[in-house]
Amino acid sequence: MRWSEFPKWGKWAADWAAQYHAGLRDRPVRAQTKPGEVMAQLPAAPPDAPQPIEDIVADFEAIVMPGITHWQHPRFFAYFPSNASPAAVLADNLVTAMAPQCMLWQTSPAATEMETRMMDWLRQSLGLPTGFSGVIQDSASSATLAAVLVMRERALGWDGNANGLPGQKTLRIYCSNEVHTSVDRAIWIAGIGQANLVRIPTQGPLRSMDTEALDAAIEADLQAGYLPAGVIACTGGTGTGACDDLTATIAVAKKYDLYTHVDAAWAGSAMICPEYRDLWTGVEKADSIVFNPHKWLGTQFDLSAHFVKSPEDLTRTLAIQPEYLKTHGADGIINYSEWSVPLGRRFRALKLWFLIRAYGLDGLRQMIRNHVTWSQALAERLRSVPDIEIVTDPVLSLFTFRWMPQGHDADDATLALINAINDDGRIYLTQTRTGGKLVIRFQAGQFDCTQDDIDTAFDVIVETANRLKDA
């Protein structure tokens, strides 16, 4: 295929995308294929001769599409959304066509300077003070890893990268059991070790970290000869939406001069609405914060917003400057590759620019407010259904429930219900455990979701439960 042919197929792709989104409600949300079905249709060896694009796109429809779970489906209520608004998709198409490598200012000045401006737009949108600087990471996992590496280096007097961890005091990081597993991975990759991730119990309706227990754990570790390095708090935990009391948590951390990182990967987008910011009161005192516009704000994966109080600490931890990466004769520039673990960088800021301009903050706020209102109303409707228990009340648009028909084990019944719901295909949900109970998670957050889609969710849940009960 040559660029001379691209306009024809580019138009085909644009038409296909519009038709795909228009018809999503007619598709089952979760892929209906069995393990190995797609693989069986793919030749074991690559072709030696070029093949017509017509054949490739026909196979795309026949082989790929049946095996896709539709994350853009308006009734995708599982995990958290990975949204793709038309404006952001258009921007990413342009980026893909240009294919710039934006590791340095000089390799694409527009990408670097737009990233600086877009991150400040986001900072203002969230109500964060001017003391924060921002960088776009590929995911919250990478941002959390960067934060943990800063914790490590800061606690070791900036000696870990140079001399490694052997011979150093054993580092300790503190968090609740509600944080995302990306924290565990960051601990592994940073060389700190799973045994040194100290889990603090939670309390209250928001399942917040017990700050008295946090203080006691840090004090006990100091007495035992460990080296406390940092605290990771969450706003909107993945499982049930847990929110730590950031004011109290960060106060304990500051008492011991520990670096604090706040993971608001999903819930952070809602903070563009001032009325929801009570969930992260005190966030301005954190050292770093991460949230994912690619979850709830409308940009497609990948785009994670990482805010830091001290860029110098981040670059001191991550920056490497061989001669071939230096920009001579340009003082005061930013090279964002020095703020990230990967060297290579996509031009992610462009889709933020398109998104915010195309919908405006008011349009994005209304989308989020709708999702929260609809989800909370659904929780109340389900609360009145016999045999359904709301286990954790809504945090923004996320709540959990379980099914407890008389004479059945609640965990077994709940598992049977979620499997039957997902096999039905009209909606897609996931499960988790809280307080030892197996529960079903519901969250609303897809860009094109409507009240009718939420009503469909209620109908599917109740119909499926009744059908299982009568079987």
Q: How far is CA 372 from the centre of its chain?
A: 18
Q: Phi and psi dihedrals of 18, rounded to 5?
A: -65, -45
Task: Express each pLDDT in 175-209 by its tens digit.
Answer: 999 998 889 999 999 999 999 999 999 999 999 99
Q: Which of 7-16, 201-210, 268-277, 327-336 has the lowest mean pLDDT?
A: 327-336
pLDDT given for residue 35 in this prediction: 94
Give how far Cα 450 sits from Cα of 214, 229, 407, Å. 42, 45, 36
Is the confidence at residue 380, as pLDDT, over 90?
yes
Q: When comparing pLDDT for 325 and 257, which is higher? A: 257
pLDDT given for residue 25 in this prediction: 94
Mean predicted confidence (pLDDT) in 8-32: 94
Is the confidence at residue 323, as pLDDT, over 70?
no
Q: Phi and psi dihedrals of 220, rounded to 5?
A: -65, -40
Q: How far apart are CA 60 and CA 71, in angstroms?
A: 18
Task: Express each pLDDT in 253-289 by its tens digit.
Answer: 999 999 999 999 999 999 999 999 999 999 999 999 9
Q: How far apart are CA 331 and CA 310, in angstroms?
A: 19
pLDDT given for residue 329 in this prediction: 47
- Six token digits for residue 248: 């109290």
Q: Which fold has domain 101-346?
A: Aspartate Aminotransferase; domain 2 (3.40.640)
Tell how strand 171-176 and strand 197-200 pair up: parallel
pLDDT given for residue 327 in this prediction: 55
Task: Express each pLDDT in 426-457 by its tens digit.
Answer: 999 999 999 899 999 999 999 999 999 999 99
Task: Express each pLDDT in 43-101 by its tens digit.
Answer: 999 999 999 999 999 999 999 999 999 999 999 999 888 889 999 999 999 998 888 88
pLDDT given for residue 330 in this prediction: 52
pLDDT given for residue 98 in this prediction: 87
3-state secondary structure of 348: coil
Task: Express each pLDDT in 92-131 by its tens digit.
Answer: 999 988 888 888 888 888 899 999 999 999 999 999 999 9
Query: To the nearest whole percent, how much of the chain has pLDDT over 90?
Result: 85
- Six token digits for residue 410: 């609640």
Kindly report the number of other CB atoms within 10 A of residue 409's CB atom.
Answer: 12
Average pLDDT, the chain: 93
pTM above 0.85, yes or no: yes
Mean predicted confidence (pLDDT) in 365-394: 96
pLDDT given for residue 326 in this prediction: 56
**Taking the domains of the chain in order of start, what are their residue ranges?**
101-346
pLDDT given for residue 337 in this prediction: 87
Closest CA relative to residue 144, chosen from 218, 255, 75, 230: 230
